Chain A
Amino acid sequence: MRPRVVVTGLGVVSSAGVDRQAFLETVAAGRSCLTQVNDPRYQPSLRVMAGLVGKLPQVPGLPPDWPALDRFVQLALAAADQALRQAGVAPAGMGCRMGAVLGTCSGPTTLIEEFYQAALDGKAELSDGQAFRMSYGSAVRALARVFSIGGFTSTVTTACSAGITAIGTGADLIRSGLCDAVLAGGADAYNISTQIGFDGLKAPSDGPSAPFSKPTGLCLGEGSAFFVLERFDCVKQRGGSILAEVLGFGTSNDAIHCSSPDASGTGQSLAVVRSLEDAGLDRDRVGYVNAHGTGTLANDKAETKAIRRVFGDKAARLPVSSQKAVFGHTLGAAGALEAAATVLCHEKGVLPPTANFTEAREGCDLDYVAKAGRPWPDDSRGHVWIKESFAFGGHDASLVLGAAQSAEPDRSSPLPLARVCIAGIGLVTSAGAGREAFLRLLSSSGPTLSECAPPGHVPFRAALVPDELDPALERRLGLRRMDKAGALGTVAAHLALVDAGIVLRPDVAAGVGLYLGHSSASNAAEASFVPDLLRNGYVLQSVAEFPFVVPNATAGTICRSLGLRGHNAAFCFGDGAGLMSVLAGAVAIQNRHTSMLLAGAVDVLTQRGWGVPLPDGGQAPAEGAVFFLLEEEEHLRQRGGRSLGHIGGLAVATHAGGSWSQRPAADTVRSVAELALRQAGMDAAALGAACGPAASLLGHVTLGVASRMGLAQACDPLFELASGLFASSPFPRTLLGSLSTRQGLTASVILDSLFQEGS
């Protein structure tokens, strides 16, 4: 039985207030806090408004030896501190039983701009410290350090749905038994290059935004919100107070466009329907929808259609509102801030209004709780709410939340955890696409290296993937208009599906999910868009690349090209992100979000991502892509597929103390490996083979694929695992995969019953 997940702490920082009380009063009153943007760099002709926080409240400090971090980290620390204080949990005593998941869209973009400016001036610093400051993962690392959080930590990078996806992912970690508590939320700081990108898309409104009303358009904002999520029984045991319950989580991908929503509302409604299925609740139980409601013509119309699709005739009587006219569109923080607004307003008994609403826009015909709040419906329907968020990359997400009153022990428990198998592997390396090329490279003496000199870099040699991969695949998958990361990812994902014997008919593709892990979250679009703005004094020259600056763009491209609309997310995990992505994907299948999910990583040469000299062994950096097709065991059996290995155990810990660049100690790596072994019901002696840093600690020899193919930061641990799975006879009965990263993570996974069928 999966444990239930409740909310015991909330923290909010936004233009509507930097504490719960002020925030609640502003939101409940529908008072708009949008103000004129006065940035000297900004073109005076473009007069836009935004929800700006101004001076931040005192935040818990990082150690003095840490580099100064981005404003989005400060926002996150301030909100997380409030949430943890309210919950009264003590993460330090919980070890790896407490995790943290942070969602962000623009992350450290202000620091990234500074980097590109320095590069243009010929003064770019590419030290480890600078790379860390510019990492999307810097905030969650700071949370772990300041609050001593030692479990599964990750950064969700699904742009404007990241806040919701972070909370849903946090709930999944608890339901799958990996954590007892998770700090989950989102943070984003206002940033001028993001504003100019939205200007180029003609998205901003003329004056204060008015979702579902007039004028059309959005106003950006900044802020952060965090939830402390806990196992229901743990809270009962310690006598803690419950604020709300996370009842369900669902996501989808539109698989239509990089920035515009599916006008039919299909993808958005899929996410909501999936979250209700996850909650085991009928749609009639829902009493309020907190909308994404950005204010743009495209979003508000599609969202209204999606709500009608889900709720049918009942949609007209369902209160729906958006807070984006109050504190702006806070991007990766939006879902978390708006979910917090819902919980707090319910406690006060007020349905939060849609501020600035004057008259309904064409195509927007629901009850938007216009202008002023009103009493919350007093029936049982009033106790169940939907919070939905939609994003660039087509990433849609929905949470089902319930009032504290619903958190009584008599609610029927959901299904038990599903078992997860690996059904297929797709690989792209510098030797080309496919398993043959991979094995050829593995048996070689080393990869072919090319000279690389991205602007601002000391020249270096790297194992690059050739631009022309396979003409037949290029035509079939439509690779020629994609950037390199999108193309390599699409090929690897396609090959994993082929390897698993999946024929990707549209109805099948609609159910296949995708988790993509990034190491540093930098991409070619960023390296072109940002410097271009800087060179031209913040006057936009090109907008086509802006929607691809967000780190989930690659995942969106893969979903679009293959038509994948299943459970979906993108993460920044640091080095070895591919393996972490497989672990997160396994958790998603355990929680029955989908029966098939592609999990993996892509590494391509980028100006910012590859700047730092690699400290480990000096292997040349390498490009590549890898996807594992994860499949629910029962689904695999029913379709007569072959399992490459069943995921018998997995464990993750974060090194919470010390410096920002410290790898976990050997003892921690070993104890996490042993924890994964115990989960799989075996001891180290029974292990057939092992990969990664835990291998030598358990007396095994690891292959070290990086010496043969170069070091692909994100893909490497999955290349190791793949090589372990392909190893010549005798096949190992069990295989351990592991990693330890400069971002402080260590993880282990146990694959058992290898080649059980069809071998």
Chain B
Amino acid sequence: MTPENQQLIDARKPIIDHLKVELIKRLNLPLEPADIHEDVALLGSGLGLDSLDALEIVLCVENAFQVTIADNNIAVLRSINTLVDFVLEQKKGGVVTP
């Protein structure tokens, strides 16, 4: 593994962990963090979350990382990984802590 890849993984991990814990708590999901794969679809057929849950996820990410998700940017909400991509992209170069 290249040092760049390791750096990328290290940057993603705290965001992933934070999001999983927050989603379980906020959405009252009967799951453990390890049960949520980073690529599983959050809405619809994956975790089965709905439009209200989607708004909650938006608030959760916006408040934790001081970013803004536009109303029509549904693609960002596809999975934990797409959320992490978005946060890192928005915070390019900066330190990301929840």
Q: Is the CB of B26 within 8 A of A544?
A: yes
Q: Is the CB of B27 within 8 A of A544?
A: yes
The answer to the question of A540 belonging to the interface, with a C-beta cut-off of 8 Å to chain B, is yes
The answer to the question of A241 belonging to the interface, with a C-beta cut-off of 8 Å to chain B, is no
Residues of chain B with a CB closer than 8 A to A259's CB: 52
Docked pose: A200 CA to B57 CA in angstroms: 11
Residues of chain A with a CB closer than 8 A to B7's CB: none
Q: Is the CB of B63 within 8 A of A541?
A: yes
- What 1/0 mask marks residues of chain A from 220 to 261 whose CB sits below 8 Å from any chain B CB? 000000000000000000000000000000000000011110
Q: Is the CB of B52 within 8 A of A260?
A: yes
Going nearest first, the 10 A-B pairs with the smallest beta carbon separation are A544-B56, A480-B30, A481-B28, A543-B55, A543-B56, A543-B59, A260-B51, A544-B26, A542-B26, A259-B52
Interface-centre pick from B26, B27, B51, B52 (highest chain A CB count, 10 A): B52
Q: Is the CB of B50 within 8 A of A542?
A: no
Q: Is the CB of A481 within 8 A of B29?
A: yes
Docked pose: A400 CA to B98 CA in angstroms: 54
- What 1/0 mask marks residues of chain B from 45 to 75 whose CB sits below 8 Å from any chain A CB? 0000011110110011001000000010000
Interface-centre pick from A202, A258, A544 (highest chain B CB count, 10 A): A544
* CB neighbors of B among A520-546 (8 A): 540-544
- Taking A202-B71, A481-B28, A481-B29 as contacts, is the C-beta distance between A541 and B59 under 8 angstroms? yes
The answer to the question of A547 belonging to the interface, with a C-beta cut-off of 8 Å to chain B, is yes
Can you offer 29 A-B residue contacts whose CB atoms are under 8 A?
A200-B55, A200-B59, A201-B52, A201-B55, A202-B71, A257-B51, A258-B52, A259-B52, A260-B50, A260-B51, A480-B28, A480-B30, A481-B27, A481-B28, A481-B29, A481-B30, A483-B28, A540-B59, A541-B59, A542-B60, A543-B56, A543-B59, A544-B26, A544-B27, A544-B28, A544-B52, A544-B53, A544-B55, A547-B52
For the complex formed, measure the closest distance between the CB of A212 and the CB atoms of chain B, giving whole angstroms.
20
Docked pose: A555 CA to B57 CA in angstroms: 25
Q: Is the CB of B52 within 8 A of A543?
A: yes
Q: Is the CB of B56 within 8 A of A542?
A: yes
For the complex formed, measure the closest distance between the CB of A43 and the CB atoms of chain B, giving whole angstroms.
13
Q: Is the CB of B71 within 8 A of A257?
A: no
Residues of chain A with a CB closer than 8 A to B59's CB: 200, 540-543
Residues of chain A with a CB closer than 8 A to B26's CB: 542, 544
For the complex formed, measure the closest distance between the CB of A197 and the CB atoms of chain B, giving whole angstroms.
11
Chain B contact-residue range equals 10 to 19
Docked pose: A483 CA to B28 CA in angstroms: 9
Q: Name the residue of chain A whose CB is nearest to the CB of B53.
A: A544
For the complex formed, measure the closest distance between the CB of A204 and the CB atoms of chain B, giving whole angstroms.
12
Docked pose: A202 CA to B55 CA in angstroms: 8
Residues of chain B with a CB closer than 8 A to A544's CB: 26-28, 52-53, 55-56
Residues of chain B with a CB closer than 8 A to A257's CB: 50-52
Chain A contact-residue range equals 10 to 19
Residues of chain A with a CB closer than 8 A to B60's CB: 542
For the complex formed, measure the closest distance between the CB of A311 and the CB atoms of chain B, giving whole angstroms.
28
Docked pose: A257 CA to B52 CA in angstroms: 9
For the complex formed, measure the closest distance between the CB of B67 and the CB atoms of chain A, giving whole angstroms.
15
Docked pose: A258 CA to B27 CA in angstroms: 14
Q: Name the residue of chain B whose CB is nearest to the CB of A544.
A: B56
Residues of chain B with a CB closer than 8 A to A547's CB: 52
* CB neighbors of B among A540-559 (8 A): 540-544, 547
Residues of chain A with a CB closer than 8 A to B53's CB: 544
Residues of chain B with a CB closer than 8 A to A258's CB: 52
Residues of chain A with a CB closer than 8 A to B52's CB: 201, 257-260, 543-544, 547
Docked pose: A259 CA to B55 CA in angstroms: 12
Residues of chain A with a CB closer than 8 A to B28's CB: 480-481, 483, 544
Residues of chain B with a CB closer than 8 A to A541's CB: 59, 63
For the complex formed, measure the closest distance between the CB of B53 and the CB atoms of chain A, giving whole angstroms.
7
* CB neighbors of B among A623-668 (8 A): none
Docked pose: A541 CA to B71 CA in angstroms: 17
Residues of chain B with a CB closer than 8 A to A543's CB: 52, 55-56, 59
Docked pose: A481 CA to B50 CA in angstroms: 13
Residues of chain B with a CB closer than 8 A to A202's CB: 55, 71
Docked pose: A493 CA to B56 CA in angstroms: 29
Q: Name the residue of chain B whose CB is nearest to the CB of A256.
A: B50
For the complex formed, measure the closest distance between the CB of A540 and the CB atoms of chain B, giving whole angstroms.
7
For the complex formed, measure the closest distance between the CB of B82 and the CB atoms of chain A, giving whole angstroms.
20
Residues of chain A with a CB closer than 8 A to B29's CB: 481
Docked pose: A294 CA to B29 CA in angstroms: 31
Given pairs A260-B50, A480-B30, A544-B27, 18 additional interface contacts (CB within 8 A): A200-B55, A201-B52, A202-B71, A257-B51, A260-B51, A480-B28, A481-B28, A481-B29, A481-B30, A540-B59, A541-B59, A542-B56, A542-B60, A543-B52, A543-B56, A544-B52, A544-B55, A547-B52
For the complex formed, measure the closest distance between the CB of A111 and the CB atoms of chain B, giving whole angstroms.
27
Q: Name the residue of chain B whose CB is nearest to the CB of A479.
A: B30
Residues of chain B with a CB closer than 8 A to A260's CB: 50-52
Docked pose: A754 CA to B67 CA in angstroms: 65
Docked pose: A258 CA to B53 CA in angstroms: 11
Docked pose: A423 CA to B26 CA in angstroms: 39
Docked pose: A202 CA to B58 CA in angstroms: 11
For the complex formed, measure the closest distance between the CB of B27 and the CB atoms of chain A, giving whole angstroms.
6
For the complex formed, measure the closest distance between the CB of B65 and the CB atoms of chain A, giving whole angstroms.
14
For the complex formed, measure the closest distance between the CB of B38 and the CB atoms of chain A, giving whole angstroms.
21
Docked pose: A540 CA to B55 CA in angstroms: 12
Docked pose: A200 CA to B63 CA in angstroms: 12
* CB neighbors of A among B1-54 (8 A): 26-30, 50-53
Docked pose: A167 CA to B71 CA in angstroms: 38
Residues of chain B with a CB closer than 8 A to A542's CB: 26, 56, 59-60
Q: Name the residue of chain A whose CB is nearest to the CB of B22.
A: A542
Docked pose: A26 CA to B52 CA in angstroms: 36
Interface-centre pick from A202, A483, A540, A543 (highest chain B CB count, 10 A): A543
Residues of chain B with a CB closer than 8 A to A481's CB: 27-30
Docked pose: A593 CA to B63 CA in angstroms: 47
